[in-house]
Structure 1
Amino acid sequence: MTLGKMALAALAGMTVPATFALAKEPQQFQASGVIDTAFDRVSANGLTAKINGQAATVHGEGAYAVQVPIAPYYQIVVEGGLIHPTVQTFGHNEIYRAICDCLQIPAIEVVARKAGRIELLFAGDAMAGRRYVEPIWGERQLIDPADPLPDIKALLEPMRPYVETADLASVNLEIVLSDRDFGNSPPKSVTFYASPALAHALADAGFDHVSLGNNHSYDLLEEGVVSTIDAVERAGLAWSGAGLNEEQALRASRLDVGGQALSLLGYVGWKGSVEPNQVAEAGKGGAAHGSDKNIAASVAREAALGRNIIAQYHGSREYSDGPTEESERRMKLAVDRGAALVASHHPHVPQGIELYNDGLIAYSSGNFLFDQYFLETHGSFVLRAWLDDGKVARAEVIPIRILDYRPVPAVGSMREAILDRLERLSAARGTRIDRNGGHGVIVPRASRAEAPLARMRGCGSGEDLLRSGDFENATYGDANDRSLKAEGGKIAFPMIGSGGHVLQLTPASNSARMTVSPSTFFRNTGGTQFEVCGSVFAPADVRLSLGHQMRQDGQGRFDALEGNPVSPAGKDTQVSGGAWHDFSITFQIDSSDRGKPLRPMLTIAATDGSLLPQVALDNLRILMRD
């Protein structure tokens, strides 16, 4: 048990054994790191490094150090006249080293400015309607419809430092922009719209371009297309991917960026099954249909003009590990016809990256600003890429967490889960993702690996469905984790001292037990063997028991959450009070339930039947073992 955890127990009002002496946690730490200039072999002279705004002294070989106050997150900004500014963020516990009582920041590689080089950034699906304005489950309203702009700006603020440094930044605007519902929605299961203030907030955050080639740009028919285009143009944003007819929708957004002639195209992969459908045609509006014919013709047209082409494709199956055969074929067709880079979205989860035919394809970056509560949609990434005279010279994956329906830098176990997934899915396509500090990096001409950050201690083998159970990414400003809920009390995520964050369970005054569980079901698990494990602290002996809920085929999510029985799962385990203890409970579901949505539920009770004291959990994992 670390000293930080001991301090946590004391400050949270818990009892710790008298044999442990508690030292006062330091308020300042020595933070140090190295700026790696090897990629372009530039000098570190003239570079600056700031940690949470405090300037560090940079030495000739790139080493830097500074005293900083303790904080949940440390944002490092490296800049200087000879490089593209870079930003990385780390959680306290992943860079704290007890041996020196200091912070050790992984080496951060920088990219030089040079003639013919530009930096681009691509983010996934963005919207700001629906639950942001009309929350569910008693959640707080995040956007005031009477004055939406300040609220939307605040939601985007955590990512501003990453976006505004790019020469061009683009995002998939997956919503109609309108002040009102025109009452003309096609008969789709999901339609929505957001205030035009979203366009201004995106521009304020540093975005320059939006892709409208998606399945929601036609949710309010022609009137919605007109109002959306008007809103993005008023905000000073370029756009492509939709229009009032097929010709306009397939038109590229032609921009001069850093002296490079760029053409940005956007497409949606399917017409839709309702009438009117969602794609632009000769006599109707909608999104640009990303058919083989349309992609080949529109990309070849821009290539014939000698322009550098970026395509954004919106398609494939939602929540899947990889693209459909049709979508993969179309994205590769775009590269074959001359696109340097294809950035894709729609699955709402990250998919792999592939270096293909001198181009780069990101098959799905997942969500960016989105209100989905499915837990697998909460880990995403932003893609940063550098083009040298129209060819991808380097790319970085910036892991992000959708926390409280907003994008924030991912740290700790969430960062590792995102990068692990991308490394696995990309390796299957012959593309290696190395590490640059807390980011993933892809370099076509070379490959060099850097040791990853320290990972959360494992319990067993298997895929961690929860991903965020070290709780280092559970809060960010006023954003709080929505992925877990508690019955019989309240949850919080305090950070106290060098031990980092924990999940603190405070039972109701008359409660003999508390149950903590995911707020909704894990989708498409595909396994039958599971393990729930982690560390627990309580001042008195407690008993841990596990149950699980299943959602049946065709059953509504809310009906299942409220009405389905909880089945016992695994053997109860008892842990002694007064210290941190590791625990593990394994369970198995019937093979007939394989692949059905699953919700494990961990109950904690005092062993003597008395009222439950305050309890803390850490390093919580929900592993799918087969």
Structure 2
Amino acid sequence: MGYRVCLVILMLSLSWGLSGCGGNDDAVKASDFLQQDQSLRDRYQNSTVDIDGEVVDESGNAIEGALVSALGVGSYTDQQGRFSLQNLARKNTLLTVEAAQFRQFQYPLQLQTVMTQQPLPLAPFTLTATNNNEARFLFAGDLSFARRFLDPLDLTPTNEIPADNPQALIRSSDPLPGSRRALDYIRSTLKQADFPVVNFESPVTLNPQTPHSTKEFIYFSLPGSLPALREAGINYVSLGNNHVYDYLGAGLQDTLDYLTQHGLQYSGAGKTPEEAFKPYETEINGMAISLVSATSVSGSRYPELYVATDCIDTNYDPCTPQGGAADLNDRVRMSSTIATAKGDGNFVVAQLHGGAEYTLSPSDPAYDRMTMAAEAGADLVISHHPHVAQGFSYYNGALIFEGLGNFLFDQDRHDTMLGLMAQVDVRDQQIVRARGIPIYLEDYRPRRISGDLAN
């Protein structure tokens, strides 16, 4: 924001100078304006900002003794829950609030404000009490460590591993350091959740010799990237998407094997439809959870489908099943899977991948599939695929996140650079609170945002 102020001043100064250029003696050299601009920038960047705020509980009561910190500066709240942080550098950052018997809270501070706004007022921060009977989920959108993360110009043939590139975030010969850096801005937020989830929209292989023969966009991630997910607290990924089968059966098998080797659980893909539809079931803080994952993007216009099917055309009998993602178009099987999990007393999360890309609201067919999942008994519906954030709704008692957008993804379209994370707290099989956490993909990497961009 300070940069904008400098540019505005520079533009006004240039306009004044040009309008008065009656002769060489009166003309102001361009270098003078550049020096003035640099001086203003330096003055802004060297200035500091103070912030004042308040920390309360969910009932609005002040919390005394909470530690509020940002950029290495900390302060404890007083009896009225008030705090003040002074002389902060003008650098956007995450503010952290910690208090005994409460969940840690983070807020993205926008400190690059106008210099006259001092101190910077903040709305009260509301902390949530810790509860051993609650589980906090955090769902993120589409993720891959592929393509431009390895090759910034995306020129490598799809059946080759990119050569190491000094301009790439991730090096093929040693993927883990760059994969860790890809999550630097968001790792602490992921770790705040009891159960963070991403849609892993990529095969995982070291042998990309079987690319889909007719699909336009195909790519793969390297297995050396996977430990970065575990280190960020992610133990489960959804696979019900239209890219898990980009390298056909061999690539799918590699993907399932590498995820298992690295301790990552999954649902939404398998060697048969039965495997693909099988929910991942676990227990979090005493609650039984079922996670179902499927895609409606089946690849039906191609000879090689993206989804698992009971029978593919062959020249002999009997026909054989094909692996792939769970097919959301199989409404009977999807509804039955959800209903069975619900009947077992589980909290059911349906993760749906489909709809029209680059739209701000779900298409009618996409929303119809969301309501179908809710009618079958899903308690929470999480949707992705359009690559942009969409809205929220309730249907049949289920909370629906209609589209999360991208999370860690290498698209260059401006509308794909804003996304959402869905934070959902569950107690006694019921959603007790939920919020959307806005993110911005900076160089394809997610970071939390606030202010106008978040709105």
- Alignment-derived partner of residue 340 in structure 1: 379
C-alpha displacement of 1:210: 0.5
Aligned partners of 1:182 and 1:117: how far apart in 2? 46
- Alignment-derived partner of residue 99 in structure 2: 80
- Alignment-derived partner of residue 63 in structure 2: 44
C-alpha displacement of 1:177: 0.5
Contact 1:352 1:363 in 2 (8 A): yes
Contact 1:6 1:16 in 2 (8 A): no
- Aligned partner (choices 134, 137, 158) of residue 185 of structure 2: 158
C-alpha displacement of 1:234: 2.4
Aligned 1:356-371 pairs, distance under 5 A: 356-371=395-410
- Amino acid paired to 1:98: T
Task: Summarize deviations over 1:459-484 as a string: whole Å, max 9, x none.
Answer: xxxxxxxxxxxxxxxxxxxxxxxxxx
Confirm or deny that 1:188 pairs with 2:188: no
Contact 2:440 2:448 in 1 (8 A): yes
Q: What's the secondary structure of 1:339's corresponding residue?
A: coil
Q: What's the secondary structure of 2:240's corresponding residue?
A: coil
Aligned partners of 2:2 and 2:231: how far apart in 1? 43
Contact 2:66 2:76 in 1 (8 A): no
Task: Summarize deviations over 1:66-92 as a string: whole Å, max 9, x none.
Answer: 224313213111223322222111221
- Alignment-derived partner of residue 123 in structure 2: 106
Aligned partners of 1:230 and 1:239: how far apart in 2? 11
- Alignment-derived partner of residue 275 in structure 1: 303
Confirm or deny that 1:135 pairs with 2:132: no
Contact 1:241 1:287 in 2 (8 A): yes
Q: Which moved more, 1:135-144 or 1:43-52?
A: 135-144
Aligned partners of 1:233 and 1:105: how far apart in 2? 45
C-alpha displacement of 1:62: 2.1
C-alpha displacement of 1:46: 4.7
Change (3 A) 1:143 1:13: farther
Contact 1:40 1:111 in 2 (8 A): no
Aligned partners of 1:4 and 1:121: how far apart in 2? 35
Change (3 A) 1:4 1:401: closer
- Alignment-derived partner of residue 510 in structure 1: none
Aligned 1:231-270 pairs, distance under 5 A: 231-270=258-297
Q: What's the secondary structure of 2:208's corresponding residue?
A: coil
C-alpha displacement of 1:15: 5.2
Task: Summarize deviations over 1:283-318 as a string: whole Å, max 9, x none.
Answer: 121001113212210100101110011111000000
- Aligned partner (choices 324, 327, 331) of residue 286 of structure 1: 324
C-alpha displacement of 1:188: 0.9
Provide the aligned C-alpha RMSD in A: 2.8
- Aligned partner (choices 230, 254, 260) of residue 227 of structure 1: 254
| TM-score when normalising by structure 2 | 0.83
Q: Give the count of matched residue pairs.
A: 410
Q: What's the secondary structure of 2:243's corresponding residue?
A: coil
Task: Summarize deviations over 1:137-164 as a string: whole Å, max 9, x none.
Answer: 9993221111111001101110011111
C-alpha displacement of 1:111: 1.8
Aligned partners of 1:23 and 1:252: how far apart in 2? 57
Q: What's the secondary structure of 1:266's corresponding residue?
A: strand
Aligned partners of 1:243 and 1:326: how far apart in 2? 25
- Alignment-derived partner of residue 311 in structure 1: 350
Task: Summarize deviations over 1:504-547 as a string: whole Å, max 9, x none.
Answer: xxxxxxxxxxxxxxxxxxxxxxxxxxxxxxxxxxxxxxxxxxxx
- Amino acid paired to 2:326: A
C-alpha displacement of 1:382: 1.1
- Amino acid paired to 1:397: G
Aligned partners of 2:47 and 2:376: how far apart in 1? 57
- Alignment-derived partner of residue 172 in structure 2: 145
- Alignment-derived partner of residue 489 in structure 1: none
Aligned partners of 1:316 and 1:54: how far apart in 2? 45
Contact 1:186 1:219 in 2 (8 A): no
- Amino acid paired to 2:289: L
Task: Summarize deviations over 1:236-278 as a string: whole Å, max 9, x none.
Answer: 2221110111111111111111111111110101321212211
Contact 2:138 2:422 in 1 (8 A): yes
- Alignment-derived partner of residue 58 in structure 1: 77
Change (3 A) 1:5 1:219: closer
Change (3 A) 1:204 1:355: same
- Aligned partner (choices 385, 391, 394) of residue 355 of structure 1: 394
Confirm or deny that 1:122 pairs with 2:139: yes
Confirm or deny that 1:415 pairs with 2:433: no
Confirm or deny that 1:172 pairs with 2:191: no
Change (3 A) 1:130 1:24: closer
C-alpha displacement of 1:179: 1.5
Aligned partners of 1:42 and 1:102: how far apart in 2? 24
C-alpha displacement of 1:126: 0.5
C-alpha displacement of 1:43: 5.8
% identical aligned pairs: 28
Q: Which has the higher strand share?
A: 1
C-alpha displacement of 1:409: 1.7
Q: What's the secondary structure of 1:93's corresponding residue?
A: coil
